Structure 1
């Protein structure tokens, strides 16, 4: 009887909560008076969220909203009852991005992240929509004091000096990828099939050397190798084959479970995680199996490295490992960190997983988009190639890894190439790996604005009042391609714009060149320097040795699937891919 009463009480309370949320709470929303489009339907699939988040509509939608309603717009979220703030106001966004305690990642986003990279339990509390329980997760999902503690422990590992130590590693893997592509071209094949044999393809008339390759796939394998060495001091050898157990675990979890995701089921299990336990699907099994492998192998690596570091400290020999995990363990064990500020082995592993998730996928996609855009514009490609080949001619023989001064000289020269810098900036501007993000207000607040807002009731006000629990959309792409800021050609790929930026650009928030591609504020990307080092190293080697052309009959489109990924039109179910014809110079 007691269980029956408890069940009935829970059902009644749930119904009351749903009715209050759907029909009453929205009547008192402080965002209700903000200008914005009417309506919005269903769960957002056909409403405002669809047009705001889909890459084939988002630019037009934001331009329409800005012209009609201004830079601070009320949109409907999951259903007509939920008001959200969508802002392209630089003052409002800078305020939100810099006040990280007041504006955090919502628990829904954090659960998606921790489902992949975090361990521990997530207890979803429905009272006021708050999240309760401890989350053992990496920096990407942590908030408040937990994030500050992790950031303090992790920052020394990402110093300029430490990041530059990986330059030989990135060059070595870029050269290995070059050799692999040459082997594929020699075999006149495209991608190796499951038996590791090259599939023959008929080359176009007059084509003497070249092969159709999924550059997204190959760049991903190469960046996994780099992240493995930089993160763990662990060589996946992914460029050579895809047989390593740990590599396959990361690949399956971060690629298959995400790039083939989406839909109502994925939304449902965020709010009702017990559904996934009762009705596990293929993705559920992939994530569980991958996490078991990562936990087993990763925990062993952590224990071994910690042991060597502690022993080195005791006998005075030290430990010279420069990988992220070694530096993180050293920082965590240092006397500057009090015992209460140290993080557990479980959290160390979650942070390494974060490094893999945030570092490998985003950088590989950014590199893929650079090559895609260069393939679409041969004149820009030729101009950049001329610059990097002239630079490469100055270093016909690369130094050994131990010659730090020589590598420093190489990096200074590479980092200073003007057109290479412009191409990378422009690619990250026009196709940011993260299309948009979201923050939730943790308290009632008023967000300052740069311009007056004409409210729905006709009044004019500065600032936006927001209630605890309401969402703020951070439209990364829209800020990066805003025509009022960047000019009428803002949607076009034009690296030369960086030689003469409009004054309005300098007022935009952003860690990297006034764009939001690496975010902004205290939660901006801690691995930005590493990502840029990786991109420049690979582009230097690949463009010096290959040309890239689009493949006739295979139109590549961008889709927002957690990150901005390439897909072949009509082949979405085959997963993320970017086929290009790669020819030897």
Structure 2
């Protein structure tokens, strides 16, 4: 009998601890002093409402009216009480204090299982070392080569679409058009750009999707993230051995992709290191301008202490991070922009006219531009006000990254700009901070701040690029990381590739909009938050990301 009790005691202790964490701890958390919406079921939650981009903006508005801007919501279960902050002062405090507020281990485990421990998932000193090594690669001077790469790939995409269009229209009074899944081709184009700019590797995926490294990355990002089972994903986070013991097709696909990436990208790293070393020995330095070369040079700099350097695995992980964060986000931003322009043809016409205003200097054939002329084109594009406004407005209205999570690593007092409401929902005018206990999960919605009507005005949910010519004072109070919006995050973990993204997408906008006209296709496109905010055809989620538009050649008026 004593042996049975001895064997059972660890299990009983574990069960008691779980019950304590689920039933007792949440009841005594200071977070329960904050107001929040009711949960109709014991295992109910609010995640669907705050994460679904088709309803989340309305949900946030209702929560603010009823409970203020510091709201308690339910996560996965009754043990998972979370803070949803819609207060700019609170968000600024959380994003600034990265040693107190980290990404939850669940998020880090999921990211690391796919692309390794790069800047997206690393924390603490590891993240600081990686960011210190990576930042010189994103300097303005090093971005010059990206201009020409983006230009060449934009021209290649233009030629592919031209060949997809019929030579004659079905009706005499219309231009010939074709229904093109613009999201698919923009994804291929950004993969090509990031491949060349990232590590001098040509996927050539605009014309051919058979490249093994391209297929590996696409399987990782599209199959694993977009098409994977949510239940299986949760299971793999909390019980990772399940994937090893009982792998399904998604798991096997990810594993095959990781093996290809490790083999091919790992070989590229070694080749780059060899070229750099040979250049140092010969006295003729290797002048590669891709980010991999710049990362390796930065990591080997003589003024960088050995303890601050990162390993080859860290280099590979950050290349994978660059592929994910730099490719998907840019292609989705451009996809949403083309859809918004198709829905607003007057703005599309105005933007095209502005782009064509620099055409006398850069002829529409574009093919024969020299490298210096391409750089001049980028300079001209950077000075076009409506192009900048459309780019910012699209990123504001549909940020590719809808929201993110943080967890408190210690007890803290969070400041607020707006009064904190009492538990019953009434306003406490004198209360401008609240305590948060260690271990609390915090939901930060970038979309909520981008679409806040109290900041942006009553038309905050509308696509209105002209708003940027006369921003409300409340908007200008928070510059964040990029142009008063949170689409590139904020604080020390803000996206380092903002300049990279602006060069790429503005160059592609110029080439596409001066050659094509975009109109809505007779389909319904919906938004889904699958790590990033992606377009899908209504009722066809399993078919993957799609955004078909009617595309026709632009014929300038005579």
* TM-score using structure 2 length: 0.95
The partner residue of 2:459 within 489, 495, 498 is 489
Residues 338 and 376 of structure 1: CA distance in aligned 2, closer, same or farther (over 3 Å): same
Tell me how large the CA RMSD over aligned residues is: 2.1
Q: Deviations over 1:302-324 (max 9, x none)?
A: 00100110111121100111101
Paired positions, count: 550
Distance 1:6 1:181 in 2: 72
The partner residue of 1:159 within 115, 139, 144 is 139
Where does the alignment leave 5 or more consecutive residues of structure 2 unmatched? none
Residues 75 and 495 of structure 1: CA distance in aligned 2, closer, same or farther (over 3 Å): same
| Structure 1 position 349 matched with structure 2 position 329 | no
Which residue of structure 2 aligns with residue 194 of structure 1?
Answer: none
| Structure 1 position 394 matched with structure 2 position 392 | no
Residues 70 and 407 of structure 1: CA distance in aligned 2, closer, same or farther (over 3 Å): same
TM-superposed deviation, 1:573: 1.0
Distance 2:41 2:339 in 1: 36
1:33-432 paired onto structure 2 within 5 Å: 33-39=33-39, 41=41, 47-118=45-116, 137-186=117-166, 207-396=174-363, 398=366, 403-404=371-372, 406-432=373-399
Residues 80 and 62 of structure 1: CA distance in aligned 2, closer, same or farther (over 3 Å): same
Q: Deviations over 1:319-378 (max 9, x none)?
A: 111101000000001112111111111111000000000000000000000000001111
Residues 391 and 2 of structure 1: CA distance in aligned 2, closer, same or farther (over 3 Å): farther
1:396-545 paired onto structure 2 within 5 Å: 396=363, 398=366, 403-404=371-372, 406-456=373-423, 461-508=431-478, 510-545=480-515
| Runs of 4+ deviating beyond 6 Å | 1-7, 399-402
Tell me: higher relative CO, structure 1 or 2? Use CA pairs within 8 A at least 6 residues apart: 2
TM-superposed deviation, 1:204: 7.1
Residues 577 and 314 of structure 1: CA distance in aligned 2, closer, same or farther (over 3 Å): same
Alpha-carbon contact 2:393-2:464 (below 8 Å) kept: yes
The partner residue of 2:535 within 566, 569, 581 is 566
TM-superposed deviation, 1:424: 0.5
TM-superposed deviation, 1:41: 4.0
Distance 2:520 2:62 in 1: 32
Distance 2:320 2:135 in 1: 16
TM-superposed deviation, 1:40: 5.7
Alpha-carbon contact 2:70-2:421 (below 8 Å) kept: no
SS of the equivalent of 1:570 reads: coil
Q: Deviations over 1:258-316 (max 9, x none)?
A: 12235222222211112222221111011100000000001111001001101111211
Which residue of structure 2 aligns with residue 32 of structure 1?
Answer: 32
TM-superposed deviation, 1:42: 6.0
Which residue of structure 2 aligns with residue 199 of structure 1?
Answer: none
Residues 324 and 7 of structure 1: CA distance in aligned 2, closer, same or farther (over 3 Å): farther
TM-superposed deviation, 1:407: 3.6
TM-superposed deviation, 1:452: 2.0
| Structure 1 position 557 matched with structure 2 position 526 | yes
SS of the equivalent of 2:539 reads: coil
Where does the alignment leave 5 or more consecutive residues of structure 1 unmatched? 119-136, 189-201
Distance 1:509 1:147 in 2: 24
Q: Deviations over 1:135-158 (max 9, x none)?
A: xx1111100110000000000001
SS of the equivalent of 1:86 reads: strand
Distance 1:561 1:86 in 2: 19
TM-superposed deviation, 1:36: 1.3
Distance 1:6 1:147 in 2: 44
SS of the equivalent of 2:358 reads: helix
Which residue of structure 2 aligns with residue 16 of structure 1?
Answer: 16
Residues 4 and 156 of structure 1: CA distance in aligned 2, closer, same or farther (over 3 Å): farther
TM-superposed deviation, 1:12: 2.6
SS of the equivalent of 1:32 reads: helix
